[in-house]
Amino acid sequence: MHTEALFRDQPYLEQAEALVLHINDHGGIVLNRTVFYATSGGQPGDTGMLLRADGSPVPIATTVTGESKDHIIHVPSAGSELPEIGETVTAAIDWGRRYRLMRMHTACHLLSVICPFPITGAAVDEADSRVDFDLPDSGWTKEEVSQRLSELVEADHPVFTRWISEEELDANPLLVKSKNVRPPKGAGRIRLVCIGENASVDSQPCGGTHVATTAEVGKIHIGKIEKKGRENRRFRIRFGPLPAN
C-alpha cells in the first residue's frame, strides 16, 4: 500500500490533509500521503497527531515502515480512538522535535565529511546523536572535531537533494559511506543528500530529513569520543558550544 512521502521533497511542511486508506490489525494507520517521517537510517519516526474533521486529535506515538519505504504506518498512542477508513484527516507533526532531528541529522553528515572513514553505525536523537566509524585509533580530539564542525556550520553551505539512477550509484561506490548497509534498490533511483554548491562539500545516499543550510544546525560540538571495539570509535554529537573543561 503506497503512501506519498511529502517529507522527502518538503521537509519543512508541518501538516497536510490526507485520506485514511487502511488500519492494520495493530491499529496502525496508513494514509494516502503524509508529512510524518518513518523510522529509518538512524533517524526516529515522527510524532504528532491526526486531526479529525470534528477537531478531535488522534495522537501519533511514532511512525514506522511496513513492507517497503513507501508503506508508512502511523502508530497511535495506546487507547486512542481511531479514525475511519475513507476519512479525511489533517496530519500534523511535532515540528519542534522534527526540526531538532533535522539539525542533528545534518550535523551527522558534516561529521562524516570531517572523519572520512567507513560508518559502522549511527543514531540521530534530539539532544545526543552518535556516529560510529571503522577507525582503529582516531588520533582526533573532541576539541579539534568540534572546531571543524563549527567551521562547516558557519560557512552556511546549502543542503539539497537530488536523484540518481541505481546504475550511477554502482559506478560511484564511494558515495556510500556506510560499511555494512547499502541503499535499498529496486525503485530505479537513489536519493542523494548534497552539501555545498554543486555538492562540493558532500554527497551521499540518504532518505532522511535535513535543514536547508548548514547554518541552521546552530552551535554543535563533540561531547565525547568513545572506543567501542578494537576498530570502532563512537563520536557523540551534542547541541551547544563545547563546554569548558
Q: Give the closest residue to 124 by CA, choosing from 243, 238, 241, 10.
A: 238
Task: Between 188 and 214, name the one with better pLDDT.
Answer: 214
Task: Between 69 and 187, name the one with better pLDDT.
Answer: 69
Cα–Cα distance for residue pair 129/150, rounded to 1 Å: 16
pTM of the model: 0.94
Q: What is the pLDDT of residues 187-202, one digit of tens each?
A: 788 999 999 999 999 9
Q: Reply yes or no on whether the pLDDT at 57 is more than 90.
A: yes
Q: What is the pLDDT of residues 166-186, one digit of tens each?
A: 999 989 988 998 887 777 766
For the chain, the helix, strand and coil percentages under 3-state DSSP, each to the nearest 5: 20, 35, 40
Q: Reply yes or no on whether the pLDDT at 119 is more than 90.
A: yes
